[in-house]
Chains A and B, each alone.
Chain A
Amino acid sequence: MQNTSKVIARPVEIKSSKKPLWLEGLKKLKKQRTAMVGLAVVLFFILLGILAPVLTTQPVDGFNPEKTLIPPGSDHWFGTDDQGRDIFTRIIFGARISLWIGFFSVIGSIIAGCLLGLVAGFYGKWADTIISRFFDIMLAFPSILLAIAIVAILGPSLFNALIAIAIVNIPTYGRLIRSRVLSVKEEEYIMSARAIGMSDGRILFRHILPNSITPIIVQGTLGIATAILEAASLGFLGLGAQPGEPEWGKMLADARQFLTVAPWTLLFPGFAIMLTVIGFNMFGDGLRDALDPKMK
Chain B
Amino acid sequence: MKGPLLEVKDLKVHYPIEEGFLSKSGNVVKAIDGVNFSIYENETYGLVGESGCGKSTTGKAILRLIEPVVGEVIFEGKDINQISRKEMRKVYKDMQLIFQDPYASLNPRMTVGQLIEEPLIVNSNLNSGERKVRVSELLEIVGLNAYHAPRYPHEFSGGQRQRIGIARALALNPKIIIADEAVSALDVSIQSQVLNLLRKLQREFGLTYLFISHDLSVVKHISDRIGVMYLGRIVEQGTKHGLYDKPLHPYTQALFSASPTIKAESRKERIVLKGDMPSPTNPPTGCAFHPRCFAAMSKCKTVQPKLQNMGDGHYVACHLYDE
Please pick, from A12, A195, A211, the residue contacting B109 in the complex, using a CB distance under 8 A: A211
Residue contact A192 to B173, C-beta cutoff 8 Å: no
Does residue A7 face the partner (Cβ distance < 8 Å to B)? yes
- A residues near B7, Cβ cutoff 8 Å: none
1/0 per residue B201-216: CB within 8 Å of A? 1001110000000000
Residue contact B109 to A210, C-beta cutoff 8 Å: yes
- The distance in angstroms between the C-alpha atoms of A207 and B152, with both chains bound, is 15
- A residues near B206, Cβ cutoff 8 Å: 1
Q: State which of A13-21, A144-152, A239-247, A260-268 sits at the interface with chain B.
A: A13-21
Please pick, from B137, B171, B173, the residue contacting A7 in the complex, using a CB distance under 8 A: B137
Distance in angstroms from B184 CB to nearest chain A CB is 14
Residue contact A196 to B172, C-beta cutoff 8 Å: yes
Does residue B114 face the partner (Cβ distance < 8 Å to A)? yes
Identify the closest chain A residue to B92 (Cβ): A197
Does residue A191 face the partner (Cβ distance < 8 Å to B)? yes
Size of the A side of the interface (Cβ < 8 Å), in residues, is 33
- B residues near A16, Cβ cutoff 8 Å: 111, 150-152
Residue contact B92 to A13, C-beta cutoff 8 Å: no
A3 in contact with B205 given A10-B133, A195-B92 (CB within 8 Å): yes
Does residue B14 face the partner (Cβ distance < 8 Å to A)? no
A189 in contact with B118 given A11-B136, A197-B93 (CB within 8 Å): no
- The distance in angstroms between the C-alpha atoms of A247 and B268, with both chains bound, is 89
Residue contact B107 to A193, C-beta cutoff 8 Å: yes
Does residue B96 face the partner (Cβ distance < 8 Å to A)? yes
Query: Binding site of A, secondary structure by majority: helix, strand, loop or mixed?
Result: loop
A189 in contact with B137 given A15-B150, A197-B119 (CB within 8 Å): no
- The distance in angstroms between the C-alpha atoms of A198 and B92, with both chains bound, is 9
Does residue B149 face the partner (Cβ distance < 8 Å to A)? yes
Query: Binding site of B, secondary structure by majority: helix, strand, loop or mixed?
Result: helix
Does residue A2 face the partner (Cβ distance < 8 Å to B)? yes
- The distance in angstroms between the C-alpha atoms of A10 and B135, with both chains bound, is 9
- A residues near B104, Cβ cutoff 8 Å: 187-189
- The distance in angstroms between the C-alpha atoms of A4 and B122, with both chains bound, is 19
B interface bracket (residues with beta carbon within 8 Å of A):
35 or more
Please pick, from B96, B122, B168, B171, the residue contacting A199 in the complex, using a CB distance under 8 A: B122
Residue contact B137 to A9, C-beta cutoff 8 Å: yes
- B residues near A27, Cβ cutoff 8 Å: none
Does residue B129 face the partner (Cβ distance < 8 Å to A)? yes
Residue contact B204 to A192, C-beta cutoff 8 Å: no
Please pick, from A12, A193, A194, A210, the residue contacting B135 in the complex, using a CB distance under 8 A: A12
Does residue A31 face the partner (Cβ distance < 8 Å to B)? no
- The distance in angstroms between the C-alpha atoms of A3 and B207, with both chains bound, is 10
Interface residues of A in 164-186 (CB under 8 A from B): none
Does residue B299 face the partner (Cβ distance < 8 Å to A)? no
Does residue B97 face the partner (Cβ distance < 8 Å to A)? yes
- B residues near A188, Cβ cutoff 8 Å: 99, 101, 104-105
- The distance in angstroms between the C-alpha atoms of A194 and B92, with both chains bound, is 9
Distance in angstroms from B175 CB to nearest chain A CB is 8
Interface residues of B in 155-214 (CB under 8 A from A): 165, 168, 170-173, 175, 201, 204-206
Contacts A3-B173, A10-B146, A197-B92 aside, 19 further interface pairs with beta carbons under 8 A come to A3-B141, A6-B204, A7-B141, A9-B146, A10-B136, A11-B136, A12-B132, A12-B133, A14-B114, A17-B150, A188-B101, A188-B104, A192-B97, A192-B105, A193-B118, A196-B96, A198-B118, A199-B122, A211-B107
By a beta-carbon cutoff of 8 Å, the part of chain B in contact with chain A is: 60, 63, 65, 88-93, 96-97, 99, 101, 104-109, 111-114, 116-119, 122-123, 129, 132-137, 139-141, 146, 149-152, 165, 168, 170-173, 175, 201, 204-206
Q: Which 8 A-B pairs have the closest CB atoms?
A: A14-B113, A197-B92, A11-B132, A12-B136, A197-B89, A9-B137, A196-B119, A188-B104
- A–B pairs, 22, beta carbons within 8 Å: A2-B173, A3-B141, A4-B137, A9-B136, A9-B137, A9-B140, A9-B146, A11-B129, A12-B113, A14-B111, A14-B117, A15-B113, A16-B152, A21-B109, A188-B105, A189-B104, A189-B106, A192-B168, A197-B89, A197-B92, A198-B118, A198-B122
